Amino acid sequence: KPIGSGSGLGMAITYGIVVQSHEGQISLETAPGEGARFTVELPLLEEHEPNLAFADPAVDTDLVLIVDDDDMVRRATGEAIKHLGYNAVEASTGRMAIELVRARPERFSVVLLDLVMPELTGAETFRELQKIREDLPVIVCTGYASDGHIDAAMRRKIAGLVQKPFTPERLRAAIAEVAPALVS
């Protein structure tokens, strides 16, 4: 994104992922005229028995479609979704999401949709997805503090709203609410 056009959520999302979701730490070293250095520390993953409740990556149905133009957010959300035991497909643009759903609409059980994206906005993407499959639950993921920026027609039709930054538990609750068949 060009300088000055970001949403200002980068550090908030990073904090949510590193500190709140993974119990890690972020430290900052800075000096005038020398820039800043951020250090991210994450705890080691303990070895454990494989969790058989995790989804099989070979499965081609009951997918969660993650639509976000921010690579870091999309990938972190994808990892969280997979860790929760769901199968995820990622799309970096609204157009890509529309093409994925148009090709095989029955594959998807829920969509996690960012609202602020270049080219096609989240609202435009939502309207196109509704034309393809009106019953597909769409959960809007937004960094805005309220849903006042979502038009009334869209607000009535979306399945849910999740504020960024979010925890994996919040995602699980939102998905369970709109697609209970995915929850084992």
Let me know if residue 52 belongs to a domain: no
Whether residue 44 is contained in a domain is answered as: no
Residue 162 lies in a domain: yes
Q: What are the residue ranges in the chain where pLDDT is below 70? A: 1-9, 12, 21, 45-60, 145-149, 184
Q: Considering the domain boundaries, does residue 49 fall inside one?
A: no
Number of domains in the chain: 1
How many Å is the maximal CA-CA distance in the chain? 55
Give the Cα separation of 116 and 100 in Å (integer): 20
- What pLDDT does 5 receive? 61
**DSSP string over 111-138:** EEEES--SSS-HHHHHHHHHHH-TT--E
CATH of the domain at 151: 3.40.50.2300
Looking at the domain assignment, is residue 93 inside a domain?
Answer: yes
In a domain, 136, yes or no: yes
Give the residue among 63, 91, 90, 93 at the shortest CA–CA distance from 79: 90
Confidence (pLDDT) at 44: 78
Total Cβ atoms within 10 A of residue 154: 17
DSSP state of 21: I
Answer whether residue 26 is part of any domain.
no
| Residue 109 located in a structural domain | yes
Structural domain harbouring 121:
63-182
